[in-house]
Amino acid sequence: MILIDETNKIECCGCTACANICPKNCINMIDDFEGFLYPKVDIDKCVNCGLCEKICPIKNKFNGRNETEAYVAQHKQKKVLDESSSGGAFSAIANYVINKGGVVFGVGYDESLNVVYKYIESIDRINLLRGSKYVQSYLGKSLNEAKCFLENGRLVCFSGTPCQIAGLKAYLGKDYNNLITIDLVCHGVPSPKLWRRYLDYHISKSHSSINEINFRMKTYGYHSGTMGIMFTNGKVYRGSARVDYMLKSFFSEISSRPSCYDCAFKTVSHNSDFTIFDCWNFSKMVPKIKDNDRGYTAILIHTKKAKNILNQLTNEIEYYKIDLNEVIKLDGKMVKRSAVPHASRKSFYEILNCKSLPKTIEETIPISATDKIIEKLKVSIYKFGMIKIAQKIKNIK
């Protein structure tokens, strides 16, 4: 009896490996009431071959060890850095792969702004994948498409959350010399349903469709990342994690997938080539250089392949070797431990299903009057060009 679709929700990260491997094509990924996808088996078609359970990366955790080294990097191009969430290391690796004739898989938006996987084959399209989207991404047919490219001998770079990379590797079932994997340090993913509710809220409030969106605008600097929405009617919305509904839900640990609170991929040794994450404490890691507040990527190198690539990125990025234990202690806590759920996590999506988004936030993670005032002050101070001074005096982020 195959139980893959009766799995405890904590034991399914939604990587889609089971649905892709099934020889009878009888597993569909169906969303639950929170808006997260889970496998559903068509019992009439299932032949009990057991493949789906055999390859599930949660049921078969990676126990390997590698000689991990740590680096911190910043892209040399201002435009790339402005569009990247941290230091633009992803773009440098993507550029390397495309220059070698390869293809890069990553996460962008579709025409309705759903957060989806896509692949790119030219350098002028790297911007489509640049920047973190703090939502669980739709993998679609990406695992299968990546396998086809690999089998045809094409160089493939696949980036994603650790569970998505583990799902890809489980599905592939063997090592490919022509595969480069990049995973992100990740504390959780909110559901696509929450994201849709957030988009609809803004579209209705501004009476306009959305032209562009950025979860981590650096208008106020890297250390004060802000959600930015550019509407087609010319309006612009900016909101920090203090007041923005999406960022506040994400950072308060109230909206992540159940598997994220007991994540099976919290180890320093990863089954990927690169692990990338935010380096907030650059000045402590590299004291001889002043933090320019434009963003730095911490990079863990797990394989010789990754080290060899990093050595060839000197035209794109400035990078420095740093102490592995120190970067994990200062910036990489989420490398090793899962997020602790917010006290109202259980009721969050139940409330969202029957009330408006603002009402849901008000009832679960209310925005304080102080936070509203600080946010307004920040905007005014910025307009008068005094944001850097205010940040230094009052630590306004």
- Ranges within 230-269 binding ligand SF4 (CB under 6 A): 257, 259-260, 263, 265
State in angstroms the smallest separation of the CB of 369 from ligand FAD: 28
State yes or no: residue 163 binds ligand SF4 (CB under 6 A): yes
State yes or no: residue 182 binds ligand SF4 (CB under 6 A): no
In whole angstroms, give the CA distance from residue 239 to residue 196.
17
State yes or no: residue 13 binds ligand SF4 (CB under 6 A): yes
**Of ligand SF4, ligand FAD, none, which one sits near residue 49, judging by CB under 5 to 8 A according to partner kind?**
ligand SF4
* Nearer CB in complex with ligand FAD: 338/381: 338
Is the sign of the CA dihedral 203, 207, 212, 215 positive or negative?
negative
**Of ligand SF4, ligand FAD, none, which one sits near residue 341, judging by CB under 5 to 8 A according to partner kind?**
none
**Of ligand SF4, ligand FAD, none, which one sits near residue 162, judging by CB under 5 to 8 A according to partner kind?**
ligand SF4
- Ranges within 38-57 binding ligand SF4 (CB under 6 A): 39, 41, 46-52, 56
**Of ligand SF4, ligand FAD, none, which one sits near residue 91, judging by CB under 5 to 8 A according to partner kind?**
ligand FAD
Q: Rule CB under 6 A: choose which of 57, 102, 106, 239 binds ligand FAD.
A: 106
* Nearer CB in complex with ligand SF4: 22/243: 22
In whole angstroms, give the CA distance from residue 212 to residue 234.
11
In whole angstroms, give the CA distance from residue 132 to residue 84.
8
Nearest to 337 by CA among 144, 134, 188, 120: 188
State yes or no: residue 17 binds ligand SF4 (CB under 6 A): yes
State yes or no: residue 338 binds ligand FAD (CB under 6 A): no
**Of ligand FAD, ligand SF4, none, which one sits near residue 47, judging by CB under 5 to 8 A according to partner kind?**
ligand SF4
State yes or no: residue 80 binds ligand SF4 (CB under 6 A): no
State in angstroms the smallest separation of the CB of 68 from ligand FAD: 16
In whole angstroms, give the CA distance from residue 63 to residue 275.
16
State in angstroms the smallest separation of the CB of 284 from ligand SF4: 26
State yes or no: residue 189 binds ligand SF4 (CB under 6 A): yes
State in angstroms the smallest separation of the CB of 354 from ligand FAD: 26
In whole angstroms, give the CA distance from residue 293 to residue 354.
41
State yes or no: residue 181 binds ligand FAD (CB under 6 A): no
In whole angstroms, give the CA distance from residue 239 to residue 244.
5
In whole angstroms, give the CA distance from residue 363 to residue 356.
11
Q: Rule CB under 6 A: choose which of 12, 37, 41, 107 binds ligand FAD.
A: 107
Burial, 18: exposed, middle or buried (Cβ in 10 Å; 0-12, 13-18, 19+)? buried
What residues have CB less than 8 Å from 112, skipping those under 6 apart? none
* Nearer CB in complex with ligand FAD: 84/391: 84
State yes or no: residue 319 binds ligand FAD (CB under 6 A): no
| Closest chain position to ligand FAD (CB) | 106
State yes or no: residue 277 binds ligand FAD (CB under 6 A): yes
Distance between the two ends of the chain, CA-based, in angstroms?
A: 53
State in angstroms the smallest separation of the CB of 34 from ligand SF4: 13
State yes or no: residue 270 binds ligand SF4 (CB under 6 A): no
**Of ligand SF4, ligand FAD, none, which one sits near residue 86, judging by CB under 5 to 8 A according to partner kind?**
ligand FAD
By CB under 6 A, name the binding residues for ligand FAD.
84-91, 106-107, 115, 129-135, 137, 159-161, 182, 184-187, 189, 276-278, 297, 334
Binding site for ligand SF4 (CB under 6 A): 2, 4, 7, 12-18, 22-24, 26-27, 39, 41, 46-52, 56, 58, 161-163, 167, 186-189, 257, 259-260, 263, 265
